[in-house]
Amino acid sequence: MEALLEQIESYRQEMSSYQVANAENLEAFRIKFLGTKGIVKNVMAEMKNVPSERKKEFGQILNAFKIFAEERFETLKESLTSTSQQTYPDIDWSLPGDPIPVGTRHPLSIVRNQMASIFKRLGFAIAEGPEMEDDWHNFTALNLPENHPARDMQDTFYLNQNPDYLLRTHTSSVQARIMEKQKPPIRIICPGRVYRNETISARAHCFFHQLEGLYVDEHVSFADLKQTLYFFVQEMFGKDVKLRFRPSYFPFTEPSAEMDISCTVCGGHGCSLCKYTGWVEILGCGMVHPKMLDNFNIDSNKFTGFAFGMGVERICQLKFRVNDLRLYSQNDVRFLRQFTGAV
Ligand SMILES: [Zn+2]
């Protein structure tokens, strides 16, 4: 009888160390241990040889052995199922994956970010303000006279009258808000959307984007303004681009100038973009009008400053040769997709 006990123990060990890698292994286990001619059946058959005084004891041992074999079979079966979930035999891992479609930045965002990063390198901080403005910040504080055409109801989107609220016509209102609460040195750029009541065409739109700059400190000169813009133009359009200043008039600067760059399309030889002059206008600029500084309690005898402003669409047109302003807001993916990969 002791030999039978040893035999049972050795079968137990064999079953414990039995591993299955596939369904065939599992079936082999079943046939060997649980089959009609299997080990469990044979061991159970030994019961008839057990002396009657030990039958009760062996009955329990053999039953436990049978249950052990059945449970081991279930455990191996489960391990096989969970293993087969972890392997994906039907997938060819060498095939290319489905691309995840990512959108593109809007061309205006691309250009605005590029412009901002150039000025940031010169120490300009980005300032933002509300698109819904009051009369003071949009006009009066900026020295815009009562009869200025931008104040005309037909030219500007007024939201309310007395008190006057309107959609800002330029980002200069942000400059006004900064000068109101910050004392020099001030060195900011204000990128943002502005509104004018224009008939929509290829060359005009009811909203567009500006980027204005303001630098107020002691001893700020026109030379500083020129050098700042010269750096910007070279970084934006390349080292070969030339620039020139033409005297102009703006209510908030004195002296004022408009700045042209040599045409980026024809290199100055003349084409339809530059109207065969070789030059394209890109911005207005000038020294901040002393009266404007006084409006914000900044001592105009001590401080001077320069300001400039340009249209992001204009820079974008020169950069990407987009000749119709309407394309920017039509959300046509055939247009937008062309800027895939641009930073
Ligand atoms: Zn040209």
**Ion ligand 1: residue ranges with CB closer than 5 A:** 263, 265-266, 271, 273-274
What's the rounded Cα separation, in Å, for the pair 328 and 313?
A: 9
Token representation of residue 273: 């973009």
Whether 157 and 195 have beta carbons less than 8 Å apart is answered as yes
Distance CA 303, CA 181 (A): 16
Q: What is the pLDDT of residue 154?
A: 66
Q: Topology of domain 107-339, per CATH?
A: BirA Bifunctional Protein; domain 2 (3.30.930)
CA of 275 to the centre of ligand 1 (A): 7
Place of tokens 């309690």: 297
**Is the four-CA dihedral 223, 174, 327, 335 of positive or negative sign?**
positive
Measured CA to CA, the distance from residue 9 to residue 256 in angstroms comes to: 103
Model confidence at 339, pLDDT cuts 50, 70, 90, reads: confident
10 Cβ contact partners less than 8 Å away, ≥ 6 residues apart: none
CA of 277 to the centre of ligand 1 (A): 7
Instruction: Name the residue among 171, 202, 176, 116 with its Cα closest to residue 284.
Output: 171
- The DSSP H or E segment spanning 111 is helix 107-121
Question: Regarding beta strands 243-250 and 207-217, do their DSSP bridges make them parallel or antiparallel, or are they unpaired?
Answer: unpaired
Q: Would you list the DSSP string of 276-296?
A: TSSEEEEEEEEEEPHHHHHHT
* C-beta separation of 129 from 173 below 8 A: yes
Distance 239 CA to ligand 1 centre (A): 17
How confident is the model over 105-120, as pLDDT tens digits? 899 999 999 999 999 9
The 10s digit of each residue's pLDDT in 302-316 is 999 999 999 999 999
Of 143, 164, 163, the C-alpha closest to 153 is 164
Residue 76 φ/ψ, nearest 5 degrees: -65, -35
For ligand 1, the distance from its centroid to the CA atom of residue 326, given in whole angstroms, is 22
Q: How far is the CA of 260 from the centre of ligand 1 (A)?
A: 12
Cα 264 to middle of ligand 1, angstroms: 7
Does residue 130 register a pLDDT over 80? yes
pLDDT-based confidence at residue 85 (cuts at 50, 70, 90): low
46 is in an annotated binding site: no
335 C-alpha to ligand 1 centroid (Å): 23
Measured CA to CA, the distance from residue 244 to residue 238 in angstroms comes to 16
Distance CA 223, CA 232 (A): 14
- Whole-prediction pTM: 0.69
- C-alpha span between 100 and 98 (Å, rounded): 6
Domain spans in the chain, listed from the N-terminal domain onward = 2-86, 107-339
Instruction: Tell me what pLDDT residue 49 has.
Output: 85
